[in-house]
Each structure stands twice: as C-alpha cells, then as structure tokens.
Chains A and B, each alone.
Chain A
Amino acid sequence: MCYDIQGDILNKRITKEEIEKLYLKWKTPKHVIAHCRAVASVAVTLGRELNKNGYSLDLSLIRGSALAHDVARVEEEHALKGAEILEGLGYCEEAAIVRVHMTYPRFHEKDQIDECDLVCLADRLVREDRYVGLEARMEYIMNKAPVSEEIKAHIMEGKARTKSFIAQIESVIGRSIDSLLDIEGRLGELLKQVEKPGRYIGGEVNAVRKAPHSVRARLAFAFPDLYEIGMSYLGLQILYDAVNKTEGLYCERVFAPAPDMAALMRREGLPLFTLETKTPLAEMDMLGFTLQYEMSYTTILEMLELAGLPLYAKERGEEWPVVAAGGPCAFNPEPLADFIDLFLLGDGEELLPQVLRLLGECREQGLSKRDFLEKACLLPGVYVPSFYEPVYNSDGTIKELCKLYAGAPDKVLKNIISDLENASFPLKPVIPTIEAVHDRSVTETFRGCTRGCRFCQAGMIYRPVRERSKDKILALAKGQLEATGNDELSLLSLSTSDHSAFRELTLELMDYCKEHNVSLSLPSLRIDKFAFEVLSRIQEYKKSGLTYAPEAGSQRLRDVINKGVTEEDIYTSVAEAIRLGWRHIKLYFMIGLPTETYEDLEGIAGIARRIMDINHEINGPGGGRFRLTVSVSNFVPKAHTPFQWERQNTPEEFAAKHRYLEQSMKIRGVTLNYHDSFTSVCEAVFARGDRRCAKALLAARRLGCHLDGWSEHFRRELWEQAFAESGIDPEFYAFRERGQDELLPWTHIDCGVSREFLLRERKKAYAAETTADCRHGCRGCGINKFVACEQEGIYGH
C-alpha cells in the first residue's frame, strides 16, 4: 500500500496519458502495446460484468495495470522491471499486479475475486491483440517452442486452474465468457438463424475502418430502429462522416435488432455490438442515440438492455460508456432524462466531434464522468439532465427547476451552425448492403423553414433558414452520385420549393440527371406552374401520385394553423394535374386541431368531392381510372410551438371524427386512411412529458414494448397497462390544456424562438389571423438574437 503524509490510502490511478508516456520511454513495441490494450479491454469487460453482479472491483486499477503489464517487455525480467517503474511513480497497487502477471500462482475463490485475478486471466485469454479463449491460447504456448514433459505438465496444471476459475466467473455472471468476448466467433451461428442477416454485418462500401485502439474516443451512433430505416436517415450519414473525418475519433454504427435477432441474442447472451468492428457497446466511450420519434423510446431502452448497460444514468458508474442523445425530440428531453447522461441540442456536425474530443481528453487525464459532464455542459447545446431537478406542485404541475450544479447554465440554448455552406457534408455516404427504405443520394439544400405553420415543431426548432448555394448543392449532389453509383437523387429540406435559387437549381439538376440516367425526386414540392414543368419532365413515365397537404378542411382552420394554402390554389393545380394526365392525387389532413369543429371536417369531405367533380369535368362522367387518397393524421401538440399549451383530442374524440369522415367520404374512387389514435396519445404524452414519464417508458419496456413506431409491433393493451402501473395519466399529459403561466417541462431548453412569439402566434391563431413568411419581413420570433437571418425580408415587404 502507498500512504501519503497523512496516512490515507492514495487512490490515485495511473492515467492513459501517463501510460502513453511510459510506452514511449521504455520503447514498448507497437504489437506489445496492442496486446496490452486487448488485455485491458478483456479484463475490464470481465470486471464490469462482475460489478453488475454485486462485486466492487476497481476498474481503473484493472485498466491501468493491464495497460502497463508489458510496458517493459523489451527488458530482462519484464514483469519485475515493469513493477519497479510503476512503483517509482507511486502506483503501488498497479505495480503489485504487474509484478506477478507471469507467475501468478492461483486465482482467488469466487467470493474474493480481485483485480489481479482478472488482469492475469485476461492475459491468458488474449493472443497478440485478440481474444482467443483459453484453449487456443494454450495451444499456442505449447506449440511456440519445444517443451519438456515436466513443463508441459506444469502448463496443463495451470490450464486446469484457469479453467476452473473461468467456470466460477461464468457461474456469477450467468453467461459464458466466450459469448461476452468472442462476438465474431459466435455471430455466424446467429446470422444463419435470422431474417435479413445483412442487417448485422457491416463492411459496406464507404464504411469506415479505423484501428479502435489507435483513437482517443469511440462513439457508437445508435439508431433506435431497424437497419433499413436508419440507413435512410441523412443525419446519421452527416454525423458519421463528421466524426470520422476528425482525427482521433471513431464513429461506428448500431441499429435495433429485429425481434428475431434480439430474442436470439438474449438467449445466447450475445451483447449488442457495433457493425464496424463487432465491439460490444459497453466498450465504447460514448453511445449516441438519435431521437427522431417519441415512439422509438422503448427501443432505446431495449438497446441499452441488450448492450448490458444499466438503464438509469445514475446507476452507470465510471465503467460504463457515456450515453448521449440528440435530434428533434431532444427539444423536450425530460421523459428520457433519467436514462441519458447528456443531450445535444441543435446542429450536431460540429458539436458532436467537439464533445467526443473532450471526452477523450478527460479519459486520458483520468478524470471522472462527472468531471467530463461539468466541462461538457459549458458547450453551447449540451444539456446534462442530472444537473437539474424539477420540484412539483401538489396538482402535478412543475413548481420550479432546481439546479444541482451551480456551474450549469440556467437555460440551454441549442447549438447553431450559422454557415451551412461550409458545414461538413458527406460525399461518400455508407452504402447499405441490404436495400434501405430510401436507397438514394440525398443532398440537403437548406435547414429551417420560414412559413411558420403553427403546429409544426420542425418549423420552429430548426430556425433560422440557412441555405447552401446553388453551386454548392450541385457540387455535393454530383460528388455523392459519383461516389456511390446511386441512380436516384433526392433534395432534402423542409420545403423544397422555398430555396431562393430553386428554379435554376432544379433546371441544372434535371439536365445533369438526365445525362447521367439518374432519377430526380423532389419531396415536399409546392405544386405550382413551375412544378408542373419540372414534374412533366422528370416523371415522364411514372406519373405516380401527386401530393397536397392542405392540413385542414376550411379556410378558417387553415388560417388558425397558418397554413398558407387556399382551396382555389388546390383546385386550379389539381385540374392542371388531371389535364396533364395524373391519375392519382393524395391529400394530407390533420384532425383534432385547436378550434376544430365538425364543419371543418365536413370541409375535408367537401374538398374530396370537389376534386372528384373536377375529374369528371375533365375526364367525363366515367372519370377514367382516377383515384383520390385522403390521409388523415391525428394532431399531436408539440413543445416549442404556438400550440404547446393545447389539449389533444381523446381517443374517443378521434374515433368519433374518424367515423364521421368515413360516413361523409363514401365517395366512389376516394380512399380514406387514418392513424391509430392510441399511438397518437402515446406520442402526445412523451412529446410534452416530464421526467416522471420515465416510469411509463420503463413499465412499457418491461411489458415487452419495442419498435412501437411499427403498427405490427405496437400493442395498445400493453401501453394502457404501463400507464396504469406507473401512474402516468394520459389525461394530465395529453388531454389537458396547460395554463399560460404553467412552467413547462422544457422551459430550460431554448431553441431560440421566444415564448412571447409563441404566445403571440397562439393568440393570432384563435383570431384566425395569419402570419406571413418572414422572407417578407421579420416576424420577431427571437432567433435573430443569436444568429443573423440571411433570408429575412428577401422577398420584400
């Protein structure tokens, strides 16, 4: 033991940084360093598993001594020499382990397993830089040099002792060490038993390979849905590219396994792993979940479970990765606050690498997770939920938010990239092996939207509008198409037609795509005269459906939600479309909007009938083979919108409205689709929920909920049970109108749009007054306090 002057035990542990210096000083060969790192990772994994089962092993001691165990490998008596070096620096406990690692006589009994046992065991399971297991390692030793019978017997004896020690550990952790450490060896058997095994193999073209031990911080980017969904998501490609471009950082990917694979992994005790290197998530420095949709939350919990991580952040000590989350749903992070260590708000392509670099530095300097979080919360856009604690009133509303760490900011402002033109964008996206939902190149044209629809969260939280120039977009699109061999290109933004150079951009892209046999797709296109010109050229042969989103059935209600579309616009445009040969029109509406009456619903049916009439006028009484699809979704009030105080309709109200629409839309040639109303209730609870909602999530997960965004996996009865068991009442969270002065759970999260603006917009909504696009002049939303709005007033007042 080492004592300082006061006689207290010094618990200082050797840091990664110091070990790096030792490697340099003692000329430790590269392959030996790689071996040390592999031993450290095996030993720490075992320690972590034991700690999960009631042990309290010092994982920093394990890591430090394993990393240092062969530091003096090129010296005579390297174990003794290594111990001396460590002792000289005051690391006596590390020294004690290093000293005995070559001659370790016997492992402790099950109830006394210590750090030294694990380091010495790990050393016997690793050959060079890989886990190979005891058998292979022993075979290697026996064959390395001719040995006498006596030594052979000695080795066999040692092997038998090690074997029985392994059995003891396995009886504690309840799974085989092989299943924990030899994922590659076990995976093939699993892949032969599941559907679409291509989801789990990685190795795609443009996937990034780095030597895991050569980087300072490793991130597993976790998408809480299946591979083919996640791989269609541009945000993943942007962040994967941005992190991997940064030296010293490595971003790998992990997706939710489908139910068949998840069940098999559970049965076989195989932990969730990254696609790139098949590393268990527990060995990462950080897991980063993307929050695209409230109904993915139970899948996040399932992924943590499959990774073997404790679900609650407070139960994850130093040995576990930092769990981060970002994306649109992070703007009300509270329902996940108990499970996540830090949230990243706003634009991530700069922030994420910055946070990872900081984590790497902290790890190297031997700083604690807490130290890291204290530093991280000072970065713009980083929210550390454990630094805050809400206090509730007796009626269940929030009384105040107490800060538990004085250094944390009172309000967390999202991170904003002001210069999108020069922001990182992937030219070589990973190309999915199995067909993704969208198998195409995607180029982001601008971020943000200025139309100001009052129900739309994206329109508020992504402000201000930041454009890429036409030339930049063309260069990115061409670069991507060349690097991927894709035959489809799509432009991405919240409102394609709103790009200030949309006309020129589209015309040039059309020429390029035509020349290169690439099909161009322009989602959320405003259907005007120019759009028809474009569409008639690019969709010559596949006149698939044309989509309009009036969102509400009457002009009054469209004014309430500030959706600047008139019925005349739609009818003129539909007539033109039908004349040009379109045979399928799709309409999107929302029901349950604030101030909605049955007259507004009748308006939806009225629009459908009018469109059918227009078709008859053009195509004659038979109408041709014309189809109209009307899709109706249920309004879910979202945080940071003018409707954040509104009540949601109950499932009964929704059901009645669905019935009404079904009755009034029995029109030949018209198909009505609507969404499950209980899913909408769950969305509403978590979209505006507080920290207490974590209990409902956990209950739902315990009952087996996962992949809730898939109608075939969503189970209403389990969710009802989860709400009942956890005491989370949808009445309070979804169907209750909030008082204007109520402290909302996301009050401390700042997306840059002011509360005053939202209130003003809400008032105008009730007066059915519209607010014009801020390209006609500033509407005072508040974002320009933080960043210049380049698009402000460009159309003139």
Chain B
Amino acid sequence: MATSFVLKFSKSGYARYTSHLDMLRFFKRAFRKSGIALRYSQGFNPHPRMGFAQPLSLGYAGANELLEFETASEHEAEQILRALDGEMPEGIRIISVQAFVPADFHIRSLAAATDSADYTVLLPYSCSQEELDKKLAAYLSQKEIMVQKRRKKDKKLVAEDIRPKLRSLSGRADGKSAALTMTLDAGSTANLSPELVISSFLVSAGLDIPRYKIDVVREQINFVNNLQF
C-alpha cells in the first residue's frame, strides 16, 4: 500500500496527435472515472498532484512514458492498474504501475531527476548501411553543431551549439528507410529537442526530406542515480 506512484504507458498510433495538455486532462478524468481520488494541492486553485516526467511533443510516439501521481488514500499499485486499464482511448496502453516515493531516492520528482532521453527517428531515406554510417560520422565529427533556436524568454532567434547535448547517435538502414537512434540531454538543466538534431542532420547529410515524412518515437527517459522504471 502506498500513496505515491509511477505509471508507465505507451502512446502510439493516432494517439500521438494528442497534445501534452490534453493528455493531462485525459489522465485527470481517467482517475476520476476509476474512483481513485488523487491528492490535491493546497491553495486558492487546487490541482491534482500528478504530472509527466517529461512532456512529449505533439506527433511523437512514446514507448515508455511516465506519469507520477499521489493518491488521497492508500492503494495497491496492481489495483490502480486494473482500475485505469479499461479507461484508455485507442493508442494509449498502460504498461505498469508501481509505488514510488521520490524522497527515498533523494529527488524531488521524476521531472526534476530527468537526465536524458532515447529516441528513434524514422526517415524515408533509402541508402545502404555504409552510406548512412558515413553521413552520421561526418555529422558527429563536427566540433560544433550550430543551430538557430528560439529563446523562450524573448522569442529571439539565437545560435546554439547542440553538440555537447548530443550524447550518442547511430543508425540502421534497410535499403528502404533509415532508423536513427539517439540519446539526448533532457530535463530542466540541459535539454535538447530531437527536432534540432533532425534538422541539422538533414542539412549536414544533404538530404531533402520534408519533416512530415519523418516519425519520432521516444523510447525511454533516463534519470539521475540510475533510477529505472
């Protein structure tokens, strides 16, 4: 029995076109419907203590997404899983629910402990493995990878070197398409959006592939202290 949990779910198919805010609304409703009361924050405008480890961009699939939440009373993880399982729309599947107390691991929350994330990027790019390796090597060998990024605070475009935040990048080609696997900084201290890697790689490789032909899956979120779910 516990009051603090982590729920692991996948988001695929058309559900990937559901936005972050709509997902929050959706889970809030699913909890209400299942009869599992969430703990609410105190204050003038109370809201349920529930949040995603990391927001997932609109259009991305997620293989192992994480939602942390606190319940008003004690529950078994298994019971929560059963109660929520029937409430999911097409494309959202609950993988597991487990009790988890952030303080036990000396962290405030999963969101605060997020360190990096693994992504797979599917490109409709027909090439040999050799060719792909060559392009990736050329891309990675750059001392710095400068991109234009819109700054949040004043919406100004600024140049930024993303190379230090790109932890690993490799690819597989089957002749018809290419799948890039990458691990990028994620979280509040340093964060790199796969969009910047995709666009700068396409430029570096001299590829002209429209963005809408590319699919992205977030495979996993990684945390400090080697926390795993």
Contact = CB atoms under 8 A, between A and B. Distances in A.
B33 A483 contact: yes
Given A198-B17, A434-B18, A486 B29 contact: yes
A201 B212 contact: no
Contact of B87 (A203, A205, A207, A433): A205
Contacts of B17: 191, 197-198, 200-201
A485 interface: yes
- Determine chain B's interface SS by DSSP, over half rule: helix
Contacts of B19: 196, 198, 434
A197 B17 CA distance: 6
A487 B17 CA distance: 24
A276 to B, nearest CB: 10
B125 interface: no
B30 interface: yes
B31 A197 contact: no
A193 B33 contact: no
B33 A202 contact: no
A168 B88 CA distance: 45
B146 interface: no
A207 B87 CA distance: 12
Contact of B32 (A196, A439, A487): A487
A198 B90 CA distance: 12
A431 B88 CA distance: 11
Interface in A169-203: 188-193, 196-198, 200-203
A189 B213 contact: yes
Contact of B89 (A197, A433, A486, A487): A433
Contacts of A17: none
A484 interface: yes
Q: Interface extent on A, as a size class?
A: 20 to 34
A653 interface: no
Of B14, B15, B30, B90, which is in contact with the most chain A CB atoms at under 10 Å from its CB?
A: B14
Interface in A200-217: 200-205, 207
Interface in A455-496: 482-487
Interface in B136-171: none
Contact of A197 (B30, B33, B58): B58
A435 interface: yes
Given A192-B212, A193-B212, A203 B91 contact: yes
Interface string A426-444: 0000010111000100000
A662 B21 CA distance: 41
Interface string B16-34: 0111011001101111111
Given A197-B58, A205-B87, A433 B18 contact: yes
A409 to B, nearest CB: 44
B59 interface: yes
A137 to B, nearest CB: 17
B156 to A, nearest CB: 24
A482 B87 CA distance: 12
Contacts of B108: none
B13 interface: yes
15 contacts: A189-B212, A198-B18, A201-B14, A201-B15, A202-B14, A203-B13, A203-B91, A205-B30, A431-B29, A434-B22, A435-B21, A483-B33, A485-B32, A485-B34, A485-B87
Interface of A: 188-193, 196-198, 200-205, 207, 431, 433-435, 439, 482-487
Given A191-B14, A200-B17, A487-B32, 13 more contacts: A189-B212, A191-B17, A201-B14, A201-B18, A202-B90, A207-B90, A434-B22, A439-B25, A482-B33, A483-B33, A484-B33, A485-B28, A485-B32
